[in-house]
């Protein structure tokens, strides 16, 4: 599938298409069943040219399963969803079962993970606010066996229909895409940067935008935890910019005559190459 924006933006990494499918390519990368992993680690592999897939047994972590669209996996979180509410905020140290879970619970055996479980990641002020956050997420259960990340260049548009296209961008490229996302709109708020996990920003939050007449783009990879895994592969300045397929075509059609052909953008590109 052609992407002229990739050339105009001088992207370092492949745009990635997210697809729902019941078929897994033979050479696709996938987490092992029951093994922990961050979705954004396999997103980085797709951005580098590999096709990756996830199913209901290989989504890596409970947040990843939720973010990709495999239902509310927070109910399966070690110790239950209440433990997750505390994990994202102030921790489980005061909970009766907290210490026992941290000592014996799978992904929390590592010291760093155990500390986060016990004392909290501190991303939200209270468990009560985490609950409200989860309740407002557009949680879905995808209608297919797999969610697939595929380099856009490898997508056959005659046979495949991406749900979302994800660009990996630096600050200048993010700025350009933000301008272009608003270029043909009467409104000026067609891009938003929610508090969200890295997988939620490219997954369920971007899927939700697909349902709208005038979908918005979603800025992501502001997830501090995901950055510790993915930016080693994508670069320390990397962010994601996700658009539903309809918006992608809109933006592609607006290249001609836009700022992307003017001197200001050309100067920024040149400065980045020096």
Give the tens place of pLDDT for each residue, 49-77. Answer: 999 999 999 999 999 999 999 999 999 99
Residue 98 contacts residue 118 (beta carbons within 8 Å):
yes
**Higher-scoring residue by pLDDT: 142, 114:** 142
What confidence tier does 104 reach under pLDDT thresholds 50, 70, 90? low
What's the whole-model pTM score? Answer: 0.93
Residue 197's closest CA among 68, 6, 33? 68
**Higher-scoring residue by pLDDT: 98, 208:** 208
Locate the domains of the chain by residue range.
4-62+141-273, 72-136
Element (H, E) at 116: helix 111-119
Strand stretches in 146-259, DSSP E: 146-151, 164-169, 191-192, 217-220, 239-244
CA distance 73 to 83: 13
Q: What is the mean pLDDT of residues 248-259?
A: 97
Element (H, E) at 246: helix 245-253
CA distance 166 to 179: 16
What is the structure's pLDDT at 134? 98
Cα-Cα-Cα-Cα dihedral of 58, 62, 64, 66, to 10°?
110
CA distance 164 to 67: 13
What is the structure's pLDDT at 105? 54
């Amino acid at each position: 599938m052609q992407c002229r924006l990739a050339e105009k933006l001088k992207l370092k990494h492949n745009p990635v298409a997210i697809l729902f499918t019941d078929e897994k390519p033979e050479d696709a990368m996938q987490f092992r069943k029951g093994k922990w992993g961050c979705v954004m680690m396999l997103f980085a592999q797709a951005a580098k040219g590999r096709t990756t897939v996830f199913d209901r047994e290989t989504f890596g972590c409970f947040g990843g399963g939720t973010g990709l669209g495999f239902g509310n996996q927070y109910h399966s979180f070690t110790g239950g969803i209440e433990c997750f509410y505390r994990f994202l905020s102030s921790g489980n140290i005061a909970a009766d079962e907290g210490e026992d879970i941290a000592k014996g619970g799978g992904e929390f055996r590592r010291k760093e993970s155990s500390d986060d479980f016990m004392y909290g990641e501190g991303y939200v002020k209270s468990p009560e606010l985490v609950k409200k956050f989860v309740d407002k997420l557009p949680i879905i259960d995808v209608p297919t066996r797999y969610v697939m990340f595929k380099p856009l260049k490898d997508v056959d548009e005659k046979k495949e229909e991406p749900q979302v296209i994800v660009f990996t961008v630096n600050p200048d490229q993010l700025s350009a895409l933000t301008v272009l996302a608003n270029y043909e709109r009467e409104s000026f708020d067609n891009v938003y940067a929610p508090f969200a996990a890295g997988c939620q920003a490219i997954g369920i939050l971007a899927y939700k935008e697909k349902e709208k007449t005038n979908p918005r783009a979603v800025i992501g990879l502001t997830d501090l935890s995901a950055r510790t895994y993915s930016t080693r592969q994508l670069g320390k300045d990397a962010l994601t910019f996700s658009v539903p397929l309809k918006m992608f075509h809109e933006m592609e059609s607006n290249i001609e005559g836009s700022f992307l052909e003017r001197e200001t953008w050309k100067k920024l590109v040149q400065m980045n190459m020096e």
